[in-house]
């Protein structure tokens, strides 16, 4: 039998006047909260870790490894790195951690990334927390107004991310030296850096803006066979953009943490040859 | 063949009000939720209103919400629920209810009419159109749409904000704009219709915050967000927010 005839609730949203009179904001019975909660916890953990490391301004170089958080190092107060990515562009006036200068680019790339947008809109802003679960906000204008309209600059952060990935590739090449800068050596850190750079490139190239730029914007693929091939290849990577976003986030933190452990003397980098 | 008795809660009512009504009903192996709704209709509630047609997931008529998730009644197998679970069936909650499980989806037909149709290319008569397969692959994915409007129902832009309905076309019709903008023979540009710009200015593309619920609920498995909405957003960026693309287009036009 009916559990009771409910009049229309006065509140808006999913309970607006002419819709079915159901008081509950949602009727989902699965663990819909798990994915946004795990996402928010993962992102929060990374924010805490990266903030600590970015402002620490210490233990970011242990020859031949430089932390990806501090590369390239563009201020005078950078640790000396022989052949490394330290270019004194800003001079001596920069007094705080040099990581802040460069991190703005990968941070902007990830903040405006189409996957991360979904992740934090759901996980932090609950807009919506999950599909068919009512969001708590009374008003919604999406990405039509300032500041969220700035998400449209994603492709410029993508260009910057390409440069950063190029520099991290250079760092990985430098990791084939030993602590005395002799070439042709390899340690556990080299493997960590290799893993990181592969994931960084895969994440960067799987970007939706990249997919658009290489070929998605075309109307006639048949007139641009090379770009069509590249678009198809990027599309395959793009289908795994979420997994690559998380994997590269973890790998960049791992690479930094490895350098921190070696630089702070917790252990010596095991050398293979 | 085994059978058991399932517990169902079905929303019954109309625009004046209503509530969830409990039913105990027989379920047999291989049945889907629509079978159970029909059994309730045949044995316990002959006036239960439900819209359905093909029972094959191709007509898009039997859209409803099952345990709070937008789904097709005919494509939801009873085997996905445990025998102890109470299955709750309600009408789509983004649209005005007509009666019981039937909603008024007229909003979607209004939005469909607002998308300018395919613009035929000049100098080609119907029957003379020739297109390469790789040029139409993208649009053909979107043509799989069965117009069930589950994506429209789950999209929080209109589901949670009735006031956005005039400004926002919803994922299904933004996908239609994308389909036409990617169509190799659509001559909208030549006729002065800029679909990239109107997607943003007239169909509310900026409201979409790409949280992918439309993709999650699509019974046809169309990658609405990744293959239609995000590419359309990037195309709108080309037109409105990228000075380099703007400059390039001016230089090319001059040359």
> CB pairs below 8 Å between A and B: how many?
178
Round to whole Å and give the CA distance between B207 and B166.
12
Q: Tell me: do B95 and B115 sit in the same domain.
A: no
Give the CATH number of the domain where residue B118 resides: 1.10.1060.10
Q: What is the ipTM of this complex?
A: 0.93
B159/A14 touch (CB, cutoff 8 Å), yes or no: yes
Q: Tell me: do B33 and B135 sit in the same domain.
A: no
The pairing of strands B63-66 and B69-72 is antiparallel
B226/A238 touch (CB, cutoff 8 Å), yes or no: yes
Give how far Cα A159 sits from Cα of A41, A61, A165, A271, Å: 29, 26, 10, 35
B234/A155 touch (CB, cutoff 8 Å), yes or no: yes
Q: Tell me: do B59 and B123 sit in the same domain.
A: no
B213/A131 touch (CB, cutoff 8 Å), yes or no: yes
- Nearest-CB residue to A2 (from B19, B153, B207): B19
Instruction: Give the dihedral of Cα atoms A222, A224, A227, A233; nearest 10 deg.
Output: 20
Supply the pLDDT for residue A95.
Answer: 83
H or E segment to which residue A66 belongs: strand A65-66
- Nearest-CB residue to A3 (from B20, B206, B209): B20
Give the CATH number of the domain where residue B31 resides: 3.10.20.30
Q: Please name the residues in contact with B154: beta carbons below 8 A apart, sequence gap of 6 or more.
A: A131, A132, B70, B94, B213, B214, B216, B217
A132/B154 touch (CB, cutoff 8 Å), yes or no: yes
Q: Give the nearest chain A residue to B179 (CA atoms).
A: A219
Kindly report the backbone phi and psi dihedral angles of residue B219, in degrees, each rounded to the nearest multiple of 5, phi listed first.
-70, -15
Q: Tell me: do B132 and B214 sit in the same domain.
A: yes
Q: Tell me: do B155 and B231 sit in the same domain.
A: yes
Q: DSSP of A186-197, one letter per residue?
A: -BHHHHHHHHHH
Q: Give the nearest chain A residue to B99 (CA atoms).
A: A20
The candidate with the shortest Cα–Cα distance to B91, out of B10, B172, B6, B163, is B10
Which residues, listed in sequence order, are joined to residue B31 by a DSSP beta bridge? none
Residue that finishes a domain, picked among B103, B129, B164: B103
Task: Locate B12 and state its tokens.
Answer: 């019954």
Q: Give the nearest chain B residue to A242 (CA atoms).
A: B226
The candidate with the shortest Cα–Cα distance to A121, out of B157, B228, B200, B210, is B210
- Give the rounded percent of residues in chain B with a pLDDT score beyond 90: 92
Q: DSSP of B81-118, one letter per residue?
A: S-TTPEEEEE--SSS-EEETTEE--HHHHHHHHHSPPP
Residue that finishes a domain, picked among B78, B103, B128: B103
Could you tell me the pTM of the whole model?
0.94
Q: Give the nearest chain A residue to B24 (CA atoms).
A: A1
Which residues, listed in sequence order, are joined to residue B97 by a DSSP beta bridge? B103
A155/B242 touch (CB, cutoff 8 Å), yes or no: yes
Higher pLDDT, B247 or A114: A114
Please report which confidence band the pLDDT of residue A1 belongs to, taking 50, 70 and 90 as the band edges.
very low
Instruction: Give the dihedral of Cα atoms B11, B13, B15, B19; nearest 10 deg.
Output: -50
Residue that finishes a domain, picked among B87, B103, B119: B103
Across residues A49-57, what is the average pLDDT?
96
Round to whole Å and give the CA distance between A110 and A121.
13
| Chain A neighbors of B97, CB-CB under 8 A | 18-21
Count, in order, helices (H) and strands (E) of chain A.
Answer: 8, 2
Distance from CA of A69 to the nearest CA of B (A): 29
Output the CA torsion sign for A139, A140, A145, A150. Answer: positive
Round to whole Å and give the CA distance between B200 and B202.
6
B21/A2 touch (CB, cutoff 8 Å), yes or no: yes
What domain range includes position B76?
3-103
B88/A29 touch (CB, cutoff 8 Å), yes or no: yes
Kindly report, residue by residue over B209-239, the tens digit of the pLDDT: 999 999 999 999 999 999 999 999 999 999 9
Round to whole Å and give the CA distance between A186 and A262.
15
Contact (Cβ atoms closer than 8 angstroms) between residue B50 and residue B73: yes
Round to whole Å and give the CA distance between A48 and A162.
25
Task: Locate B36 and state its tokens.
Answer: 């159970």
Across residues A18-37, what is the average pLDDT?
95
The candidate with the shortest Cα–Cα distance to A273, out of A176, A160, A155, A200, is A176
- Nearest-CB residue to B230 (from A114, A132, A239): A114
Q: Give the nearest chain A residue to B237 (CA atoms).
A: A152
Q: Tell me: do B138 and B240 sit in the same domain.
A: yes
Lowest mean per-residue pLDDT among A9-13, A238-242, B91-95, B100-104:
A9-13
Q: Tell me: do B239 and B146 sit in the same domain.
A: yes
Please report which confidence band the pLDDT of residue A12 belongs to, taking 50, 70 and 90 as the band edges.
low
Q: Tell me: do B221 and B110 sit in the same domain.
A: yes
Question: In A64-218, which ranges are continuous DSSP H helix?
Answer: 99-111, 114-123, 154-174, 188-205, 208-211
Distance from CA of A140 to the nearest CA of B (A): 7
Supply the pLDDT for residue B254.
Answer: 61
How far the first Cα of chain A sits from its last, in Å, is 77
Which of A30, A40, A131 is most worth mutating to test chain B (most B CB atoms within 10 A of its CB)? Answer: A131
Which of B63, B136, B160, B183 is most worth mutating to test chain A (most A CB atoms within 10 A of its CB)? Answer: B160
Q: Please name the residues in contact with A51: beta carbons below 8 A apart, sequence gap of 6 or more.
A: none
Q: What does the domain layout of chain A look like in residue ranges?
A: 31-137+146-263
Which of A12, A111, A132 is most worth mutating to test chain B (most B CB atoms within 10 A of its CB)? Answer: A132
- Nearest-CB residue to A4 (from B19, B69, B211): B19
Q: Tell me: do B97 and B186 sit in the same domain.
A: no
Q: Tell me: do B98 and B201 sit in the same domain.
A: no
Quote helix, strand, coil % in chain A, to nearest 5: 55, 5, 40
Above 90 in pLDDT, residue B243?
A: no
Total domains, chain B: 2
Q: Give the nearest chain B residue to A16 (CA atoms).
A: B162
Which of B69, B104, B235 is most worth mutating to test chain A (most A CB atoms within 10 A of its CB)? Answer: B69
Q: Tell me: do B180 and B243 sit in the same domain.
A: yes
Q: Tell me: do B94 and B119 sit in the same domain.
A: no
Round to whole Å and give the CA distance between A120 and A129.
10
């Amino acid at each position: 039998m009916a559990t009771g005839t409910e009049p229309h609730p006065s509140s808006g949203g999913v309970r607006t006047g002419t819709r079915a009179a159901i008081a509950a904001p949602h009727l989902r019975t699965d663990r819909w909260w798990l994915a946004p909660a795990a996402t928010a916890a993962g992102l929060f953990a990374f924010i805490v870790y990266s903030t600590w490391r970015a402002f620490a301004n210490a233990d970011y170089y242990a020859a031949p490894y430089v932390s990806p958080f501090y590369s390239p190092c563009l201020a005078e107060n950078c640790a000396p790195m022989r052949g490394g990515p330290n270019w004194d562009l800003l001079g001596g006036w920069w007094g705080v951690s040099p990581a802040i200068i460069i991190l703005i680019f990968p941070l902007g790339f990830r903040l405006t990334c189409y996957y991360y947008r979904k992740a934090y809109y759901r996980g932090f802003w609950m807009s919506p927390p999950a599909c068919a679960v009512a969001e708590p906000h009374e008003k919604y204008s999406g990405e039509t107004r300032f500041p969220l309209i700035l998400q449209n600059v994603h492709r410029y952060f993508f260009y910057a991310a390409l440069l950063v990935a190029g520099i991290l590739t250079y760092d990985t090449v430098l990791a084939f030296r030993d602590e005395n800068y002799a070439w042709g050596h390899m340690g556990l850190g080299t493997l960590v850096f290799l893993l990181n750079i592969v994931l960084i490139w895969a994440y960067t190239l799987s970007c939706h803006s990249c997919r658009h730029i290489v070929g998605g914007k075309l109307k006639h693929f048949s007139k641009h066979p090379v770009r069509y091939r590249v678009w198809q290849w990027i599309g395959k990577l793009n289908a795994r953009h979420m997994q690559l976003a998380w994997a590269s986030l973890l790998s960049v933190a791992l690479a930094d943490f490895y350098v921190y452990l070696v630089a702070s003397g917790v252990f010596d980098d095991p050398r293979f040859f | 063949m085994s059978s058991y008795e399932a517990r169902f809660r079905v929303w019954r009512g109309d625009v004046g009000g209503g509530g969830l009504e409990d039913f105990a009903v027989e379920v047999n192996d291989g049945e889907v939720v629509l079978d159970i709704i029909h059994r309730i209709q045949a044995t316990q509630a002959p006036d239960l209103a439900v819209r359905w047609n093909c029972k094959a997931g191709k007509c898009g008529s039997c859209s409803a919400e099952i345990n709070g998730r937008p789904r097709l009644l005919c494509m939801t197998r009873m085997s996905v629920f445990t025998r102890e679970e109470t299955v709750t069936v309600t009408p789509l909650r983004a649209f005005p209810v007509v009666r019981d499980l039937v909603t008024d989806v007229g909003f979607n037909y209004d939005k469909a009419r607002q998308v300018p149709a395919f613009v035929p290319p000049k100098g080609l008569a119907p029957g003379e159109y020739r297109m390469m397969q790789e040029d139409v692959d993208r649009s053909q994915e979107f043509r799989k749409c069965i117009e069930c409007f589950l994506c429209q129902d789950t999209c929080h832009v209109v589901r949670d904000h009735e006031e956005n309905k005039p400004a926002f076309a919803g994922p299904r019709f933004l996908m239609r704009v994308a389909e036409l903008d990617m169509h190799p023979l659509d001559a909208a540009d030549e006729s002065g219709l800029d679909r990239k710009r109107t997607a943003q200015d007239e169909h509310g593309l900026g409201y979409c915050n790409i949280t992918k619920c439309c993709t999650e609920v699509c019974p046809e498995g169309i990658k609405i967000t990744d293959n239609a909405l995000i590419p359309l957003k990037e195309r709108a960026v080309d037109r409105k927010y990228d000075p380099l693309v703007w400059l390039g287009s001016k230089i090319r036009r001059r040359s």
